[in-house]
Chain A
Amino acid sequence: MKKGIDWKKYKIDYFYDELISAAGNPRVAGRQLVNHLASLSAEELENRRQTAEATIRQMGISFTVYTEEGNIDRAWPFDIIPRTISATQWQVTADGLKQRLKALNLFINDLYHDQNIIKDGVLPAHILKQSKNFRPECVGVTPPYGVWAHICGTDLVRDEDGKFYVLEDNLRVPSGVSYMLENRAITKRVLPELFEHDYILPVGDYTAQLFATLSSLSPRKIKQPEIVVLTPGIYNSAYFEHAYLAQQMGVELVEGSDLVVAKDDCVYMRTISGLERVDVIYRRIDDLFLDPEVFNKDSVLGVPGLMRAWQKGNVALANAPGAGVADDKVVYAYVPDIIRYYLKQEPIIPNVKTYLCDDPKQREYVLANLDKLVVKPANESGGYGMMVGPHATKTEHAKFARLIKANPRNYIAQPTLKLSTAPTLVGSGSLEPRHLDLRPFILQSRELYVTTGGLTRVAMKKGSLVVNSSQGGGSKDTWIVDR
């Protein structure tokens, strides 16, 4: 019989590796996994990989990439080697994520009411004034429980010290949770043996938790509030996820044209029996497309009058419009202070060191160190419009220097992190370290909930730090292992 993975040959360089601590030595949470992989021959491993690939194609797990030639539906790139995290470490991280979302929601609610945080001098007034995602239409509105961001996807990275840091908070329409659930479904088919030995915490309760969160927001206190998932349609990159979540929750998946706001300022959907009242909308379209009467006039994705219905409290929107004000990379830099201000607690998970180009001193440092820093626009997501200094050309450095000078408020910079790695299958049957991050999902309404682990995204290219699926990243199942 041929030998399996030789862990002595797995080179971890100077990064923190999620599975292996030193040549050949597995971390505690990954011990079973490492032994099991060592027992599989290269052919067997390749077979498992092909099973995973076939499963993904059959299940039609796909995402859409926008290109100049049109939209391409790609199969979900998946690496079969799971990423392991110990349950004890995860517990602390989960507490930190809850703490963070709780503070962010207090912050958003404050911004749309008294703005005490500005009056008390914790957040400079000009930062709010120049925020692209502050919506004056939301001022004075109090959504149920004072919560604006009900569903949050927070990106975590591990640096070389092995500690988790928050890279960004996604409070608008974070996506990826369906892939987290599907990754587990695939792994159970591909590596079923491993689930016998270790206790790998299940992830499957997310949709039930999401359903409970959404139900609790209903303006009508009835037994079965009508909940819908609002999608921009089949051409959206996350359409797969929208359909998946609607199906898993047993609620309707609607498009803007299925909904109508009637004279009573309530939202209804068009059904075969006529109009049906809608109580809660899990909307997966951006603020600016929600309501052509208020925002983007040309939007055909939204529903005319939706903002009116929401302002009057006749329908709940999750996430609430305007929640994105806290999902701004400049505001991000203030989150530790925001936690201290509202909760009188020290942040459990630290931020990544962030330079605000808005501040003359910090800008000077950024401009002088463009080759060492990662520069990001304040309001983009999906890895668009950013520059990884050490991997960029001189021309790109010059271009970003111009961009920063022209609009300093719109840029932040962070040191290039030594993102942790995990073994990833490359070629036939051999493993190499690839960089990854982690996106857990946090829910808040009456209560707080954190997914068990989250979506691990991995940069499939050697040395690359970009994990976004739109930019060639893949993903792995994430195991929280309780031993």
Chain B
Amino acid sequence: MTQIMLSRVAERVYWMARYLERAENTARMVGVYANLLLDMPRGIDLSWYSLVDINDTGEAFNERYKNRDERNVVKFMLADDTNGNSMLTSLKMARENARTSRDVVPQDTWEIVNELHLFAAENIQRGINRGQRHHYLYEIVKGCHQISGLFANSMNKDSASEFIRLGRTLERADMATRILDAGAAVILAAEESSTNISQIVWGNVLRSLDAYQPFLRDERGPVTGPAVARFLLANELYPRTVLFSLNRLGKALARLPHSSEPRQIATVIKDRVIAFDGYQDLGTSFRGYMNELQLQLASLHDCFADTWFALERNDD
């Protein structure tokens, strides 16, 4: 099968998928967090600012805002264009990438991405104010699902489709490590407190990845830190876990040309996730492990760029 895929277009569909995934995750995360805060007992020092930390965007936030209150954090996470990871920025970038790769994605993609971005931008106040936030964020997540559905059902399973998969799975794996890390951070911060918040925190960690029900069905056990961490890292059945994402990513790589180097890196990361057994203590060393995984995933992205996206690479 000869199939043409421009390097530039491959890069754009890859990023489109990453940004769509990021927008969806951010929307869900803000929603879950709002929910979590309502359940926190008094005296637990859990602030909205942790959301900023999860995404490593503290610097950009502090340049812009002094007050680390709900309104500023939610604004920063959803709407801020100085935050390269905000939901609106992600949708905008997804839109720009879709716009420049219209010829390889299903015809309706552009229309729906465009519509979703318009909806998100025009109604952003509904996301920032508490009253209608839930419904607004739900609409965003729904829009993202609609686009994923289009990719799954109305697109040739060709290279473009594989690059969409690469973008989506890498973003998911990365997001799972960040959310686990955030959960661990909250528990660490609350260690001195007498109230047991573990159940609430880990339950919401699962919900941030839409994984609460899948966890219960597969684990059939209580929501504890170790069980949740093991599930989100090493479960092979749920699509937003690190291992599932890496498996899918590996399948996509196998169908792409010149993929031996990225496959090697992906295998190293996967073996590490499978071999890991430090789930009993989710303290500082666990957080360090999450951080290392993030760095390895970043190096995998760099390898994609060198292998397929760089325009200089041509004379072979």
Contacts and interface: CB of A to CB of B under 8 A. Distances in A.
A60 B114 CA distance: 7
B interface, size bucket: 20 to 34
Interface stretch (A116-124, A271-279, A401-409): A271-279
Say what secondary structure dominates the interface of chain A: mixed
Interface size class of A (residues with CB under 8 A): 20 to 34
Interface in B232-270: 256-258
B256 A270 contact: no
B135 interface: no
A268 B316 CA distance: 12
Contacts of A254: 6
Interface stretch (A16-24, A195-203, A255-263, A309-317): A255-263
Contacts of B308: 272
Given A257-B8, A270-B314, A272-B308, A58 B99 contact: no
Nearest to A57: B118
A271 B99 contact: no
B7 A258 contact: yes
B8 A255 contact: yes
B99 A60 contact: yes
B117 to A, nearest CB: 10
Contacts of B100: 234, 243
A269 interface: yes
B99 to A, nearest CB: 7
Interface string A61-98: 00000000000000000000000000000000000000
Contact of A273 (B9, B257, B315): B257
Interface string B276-316: 00000000000000000000000000000000100101111
B314 A260 contact: yes
Interface string B94-108: 001001101100010
A255 B9 CA distance: 10
Interface in A271-306: 271-276
A265 to B, nearest CB: 16
A253 interface: yes
Contacts of A273: 3, 5, 257-258
A246 interface: yes
Contact of A271 (B7, B96, B102, B114): B7
B45 interface: no
Contacts of B257: 272-274
A272 B159 contact: yes
Contact of B314 (A57, A226, A246, A274): A274
A247 interface: yes
A268 B313 CA distance: 13
A441 to B, nearest CB: 20
A432 interface: no
Given A246-B103, A252-B103, A271 B115 contact: no
A244 B9 CA distance: 15
Interface in B150-164: 159
Contacts of A247: 102-103, 107
A270 B99 contact: no
A208 interface: no
B202 to A, nearest CB: 41
A267 to B, nearest CB: 13
Contact of A275 (B107, B114, B115, B314): B314
Contacts of B114: 57-60
Given A58-B114, A60-B110, A253 B258 contact: no
A270 B311 contact: yes
B69 interface: no
B34 to A, nearest CB: 30
B275 interface: no
Contact of B6 (A58, A244, A258): A258
Interface in B1-19: 3-10
A125 interface: no
B111 interface: yes
A243 B109 CA distance: 13
Nearest to A253: B103
A226 B256 CA distance: 21
Nearest to B8: A258
Interface string A469-481: 0000000000000
Contacts of A274: 257, 314, 316
B256 A272 contact: yes
B115 A270 contact: no
A127 interface: no
A252 B96 CA distance: 18
A335 to B, nearest CB: 36
A251 interface: yes
Contacts of B10: 272
Interface string A218-245: 0000000010000000100000000110
B251 to A, nearest CB: 17
Contacts of B311: 257-258, 270
A59 B115 CA distance: 8
B310 to A, nearest CB: 9
A276 B118 CA distance: 38
Contacts of B5: 271-273
A273 B316 CA distance: 9
Contacts of B258: 272-273
A258 B310 CA distance: 11
**Residue from B96, B257, B314 with most neighbouring chain A CB atoms (10 Å):** B314
Interface in A451-469: none
Contacts of B7: 258, 270-272
Contacts of A60: 99, 110-111, 114
Nearest to B160: A272
19 contacts: A58-B114, A60-B111, A234-B100, A244-B102, A246-B102, A247-B103, A251-B103, A253-B102, A253-B103, A268-B314, A269-B6, A270-B7, A272-B5, A272-B6, A272-B7, A273-B3, A274-B257, A275-B314, A275-B315
Given A254-B6, A271-B6, 19 more contacts: A57-B114, A60-B111, A226-B4, A243-B102, A243-B103, A247-B102, A247-B107, A252-B6, A252-B9, A253-B103, A258-B7, A258-B311, A269-B6, A270-B8, A271-B5, A272-B6, A272-B159, A272-B256, A274-B314
- Counting from the closest, the 6 A-B pairs by CB-CB distance are A273-B257, A60-B114, A246-B103, A247-B103, A272-B308, A243-B102
